A and B are shown apart, each in its own frame.
Chain A
């Protein structure tokens, strides 16, 4: 049985990559906390991870039956949920900026902690593989 890194490491490698990406998005929000008309953005982590792993097409998309030749093969595009979206501000500012620094800071810290968790899982996978190779 060949060991495939993708299946051995599971979701954690992709999760780590996306946590890094989300840190970038949130840092950009905080950097633009004083920019007029800037709209804060974020993405749905679960949806993007599903897309990244290729689960989205089989599992979470809703398909529409096509009974006539002219029907579009319409289905609710899972990619719609997997893009950057604008956050809904609690207290929008008068200059059109929707960044709430305390919110963004909380999300950023939460994201950093989850990054560390994903990292630990990934590291444990590697430790397990190493132990298997050594056979001790």
Chain B
């Protein structure tokens, strides 16, 4: 029944958005995690979203011609390749031999915007699920 697929679709979006929220939380928590070499420094993590296609097609021709897809999935989490932020601070205990410490390439403003976007998307999908629930509940009263 197609209405119960809505739960799977909205659910996939909610879990994808919560992965996105998790990476944002990790990035913000590590925004000031300095280190003494470029290789060891934390890099901002970003999830990659992709369409999830319906695994098996239904037997009816309606399902075949109107294959809606099955929501969204997180295919991988990539590290941002934007440059790190070296700071000259020779008195710092973690400074390298040239006197530099390295800050992660986390852009705090960008992360906050990402966080708001993710939480709004999560909210909308919860709303979709709620509406589908009302529709199914209504259907269960058919003939009463």
Contact = CB atoms under 8 A, between A and B. Distances in A.
Contacts of A105: 124, 127
B138 A119 contact: yes
Contact of B2 (A23, A32, A79): A23
B49 A24 contact: no
A20 B51 contact: no
B9 A31 contact: yes
Contacts of A21: 2, 62, 66, 68
B135 A23 contact: yes
B95 interface: no
B124 A30 contact: yes
Interface string B107-144: 00000000001100100110110011011001101110
B3 interface: yes
A60 interface: no
* Residues of B in contact with A, size category: 35 or more
Interface string A66-106: 00000000000001001110000000000000000100010
Interface in B1-57: 1-3, 5-6, 9-10, 12-13, 16-17, 20, 49-51
Contacts of A43: 66
A82 B20 CA distance: 36
Given A32-B51, A84-B66, A115-B135, A24 B6 contact: yes
Nearest to B65: A83
Contacts, number: 110
B6 A116 contact: no
A35 B139 CA distance: 32
Interface string A9-31: 00000001100110111011011
Contacts of A33: 13, 121, 124
A135 B119 CA distance: 56
B135 A116 contact: yes
Contact of B9 (A24, A48, A52, A84): A24
B83 interface: no
Contacts of A24: 2-3, 5-6, 9, 68
A109 to B, nearest CB: 7
Across chains A and B, which 10 residue pairs bring their CB atoms closest together, nearest first?
A31-B13, A20-B2, A35-B49, A25-B68, A20-B3, A31-B71, A24-B68, A27-B6, A24-B2, A27-B9
Given A112-B134, A116-B138, 8 more contacts: A20-B135, A27-B9, A27-B68, A30-B124, A52-B62, A112-B131, A112-B135, A123-B142
